[in-house]
Structure 1
């Protein structure tokens, strides 16, 4: 049976961008642009009259900006929103994700309908969001509060590696998890969030403000210490090198074998090689199956695998793949994952 038609509302104050996005969306099978709006006020009216299934949203607009629109939309008529924002608006993108947007695409200032990179990314994300399950904001419209850091001994060797893979819906999920991890976590946390380059440093800084742990974007040669959270740079992958007593980070370019970057599979496999049974792999919301092959390596070494449940996943593709492969030790809603990570790390010292 064919899937029902996906109706899309395009919201952007640039007439050229509205046309370009509409042209790109019109070429996706099963997708139809039902309305276009130049600002948030017009978009709210069209949400009720056109009843779109999905909204593409610019953030900087006159009369009513994208943030105000998102707050009202999520309170009154929540549905999936894909933010289309320029590279210069990194902080704005993450604010929009906290307000409930499901994902984002970074665009140039002038969007041409012939831009193949944007067209391919738009197609991939629109089709993934067809299966969106949760559209409520993680932080109810406000950034997570800044949490105090508790100093830890310098270069304290981590007792375990917590490796996390996420895609669509991941930024908000990671914000919630980082806010719940304890300051005395005796592990290093390594994150592979599918994200374009130039955004992961800003994302890391935002995670750091809402975490008791020290969060930063990973760099080549970084030493790993307990209480550190390292986020893989966008459009690259992160692997572990060395030994468990002296582990370091390698940042590697995308290869032809990498379907997704940053790659959860590559991170998980390398962590299993170094930390063996002392790896806790976490697979969060996201499309497709990144992380499944890596979880096989983790399980082969005696490590543990935690998976986000369907009830809280924005897109259940990555978690479902791990569950169907019978690799998940625990299947948990998002709000239980931080405490479960802490439990698993403590259990390794028993």
Structure 2
């Protein structure tokens, strides 16, 4: 039992690197709320340990001998679904997103011996993600992933008729569970969507370009990683580069993107609050804010600012949110004009442009 009387979160570490196993174990053991149930040297060993130890959460390497991480993930989601956090290297960007599509809930970038500052940052990230598992709903995550699979087989709409031609901007923020949630929303918006979209998904540096590329394949919108100085355009969704913040600026009659470096003091990277406040300052009542699944309070202040300036705000409902933390914070602060399930959100956004408010 922990000091609060709750059972500790039991973690199984699966990694073929002894250094990584020891490093991750040492990090996790710093929290009294976490117990390392065991370690496994590859996927085959991991399968046996899962059945024997019955952990609450798994940290998983992908590239391993005998049975790799993908094979274990498929087996796990069929036989005994449980939260899995991928431990990856920067060179495994495409494989990370494949793992998320198979059912992993999140990922961290694999630590190295020499990068002591990186190691400290990873430790905090790892602990936060493991501790958030108690709020995570695996059934909702699997439902979103299966919905994404269904949408992949259907060509998204390229055209809809819009009554309201007045330019608006849509801002969306998400954290844990966000990649699948964003894919659901973006796949349901038409290619002639009459507004720019800005997205902040909590994700480390180096992964968002690959993420944007995958989103672009399942959406009729143009989805890409945002670039500094790039103009926002209708029908284009810009994803904030990992490890940075995205803001807007007016210059020479255009609204352009400003990419800002993060600092060691920043709690949430990218910051949903900074993005939303920046958009609300420029677009005022023409701003739409959407907060999806995630742990913490990022997005609450941004949604309050959008609402204060007369914009429209939507928080994902508990019914569909993989982790209800961020939407709950928005709702509790009175900053949500509407609470909607993930599958309802695209239709509610579209109503703002069709005179159906």
TM over 0.5: yes
Whether 1:32 and 2:44 are equivalent positions in the alignment is no
Q: Retained in 1: the 8 A contact 2:16–2:64?
A: yes
Aligned counterparts of 2:62 and 2:143: Cα–Cα separation in 1: 16
Q: In structure 2, what is the equivalent of residue 335 of structure 1?
A: 343
Whether 1:136 and 2:142 are equivalent positions in the alignment is yes
Q: In structure 1, what is the equivalent of residue 121 of structure 2?
A: 117
Q: Deviations over 1:50-70 (max 9, x none)?
A: 110011011111222111211
Structure 1 unpaired stretches of 5+: none
The one of 238, 242, 267 equivalent to 1:234 is 242
Moved over 6 A (4+): 111-114
Following superposition, the deviation at residue 110 of structure 1 comes to: 5.6
Structure 1 residues 251 and 149: alpha-carbon distance in aligned structure 2, compared to 1, 3 A threshold: farther
Q: In structure 2, what is the equivalent of residue 165 of structure 1?
A: 173
Aligned counterparts of 1:183 and 1:161: Cα–Cα separation in 2: 15
The one of 43, 65, 80 equivalent to 2:46 is 43
Q: Retained in 2: the 8 A contact 1:281–1:295?
A: yes
SS class of match (2:327)? helix
Structure 1 residues 194 and 158: alpha-carbon distance in aligned structure 2, compared to 1, 3 A threshold: farther
Structure 1 residues 300 and 291: alpha-carbon distance in aligned structure 2, compared to 1, 3 A threshold: same
Aligned counterparts of 1:109 and 1:192: Cα–Cα separation in 2: 27
Whether 1:285 and 2:293 are equivalent positions in the alignment is yes
Following superposition, the deviation at residue 25 of structure 1 comes to: 1.2
Using structure 2 for the length normalisation, give the TM-score.
0.89
Q: Retained in 2: the 8 A contact 1:158–1:224?
A: no
Q: Retained in 2: the 8 A contact 1:8–1:32?
A: yes
Q: Retained in 1: the 8 A contact 2:88–2:110?
A: yes
Structure 1 residues 130 and 31: alpha-carbon distance in aligned structure 2, compared to 1, 3 A threshold: same
Q: Retained in 2: the 8 A contact 1:16–1:111?
A: no
Using structure 1 for the length normalisation, give the TM-score.
0.91
SS class of match (1:136)? helix
Following superposition, the deviation at residue 256 of structure 1 comes to: 6.6
Q: In structure 1, what is the equivalent of residue 321 of structure 2?
A: 313
Aligned counterparts of 2:116 and 2:84: Cα–Cα separation in 1: 20
Whether 1:127 and 2:131 are equivalent positions in the alignment is yes
Q: In structure 1, what is the equivalent of residue 283 of structure 2?
A: 275
Q: Deviations over 1:107-134 (max 9, x none)?
A: 1466989932221211121112232123
Structure 1 residues 113 and 230: alpha-carbon distance in aligned structure 2, compared to 1, 3 A threshold: closer
Aligned counterparts of 2:233 and 2:332: Cα–Cα separation in 1: 34
Aligned counterparts of 1:205 and 1:108: Cα–Cα separation in 2: 25
Structure 1 residues 291 and 315: alpha-carbon distance in aligned structure 2, compared to 1, 3 A threshold: same
Aligned counterparts of 1:300 and 1:37: Cα–Cα separation in 2: 52
Aligned counterparts of 1:148 and 1:327: Cα–Cα separation in 2: 31
Q: In structure 2, what is the equivalent of residue 97 of structure 1?
A: 100
Aligned counterparts of 2:209 and 2:194: Cα–Cα separation in 1: 24
Q: In structure 2, what is the equivalent of residue 209 of structure 1?
A: 217
Structure 1 residues 258 and 109: alpha-carbon distance in aligned structure 2, compared to 1, 3 A threshold: closer
Q: Deviations over 1:273-321 (max 9, x none)?
A: 1111111100011111001111111001111111111132222111110
Q: Deviations over 1:153-175 (max 9, x none)?
A: xxxx9711110011111111111
Structure 1 residues 74 and 321: alpha-carbon distance in aligned structure 2, compared to 1, 3 A threshold: same
Q: In structure 2, what is the equivalent of residue 59 of structure 1?
A: 62
Q: In structure 1, what is the equivalent of residue 14 of structure 2?
A: 11
SS class of match (1:173)? helix
SS class of match (1:122)? helix
Following superposition, the deviation at residue 182 of structure 1 comes to: 1.5
Paired residues in the alignment total 345
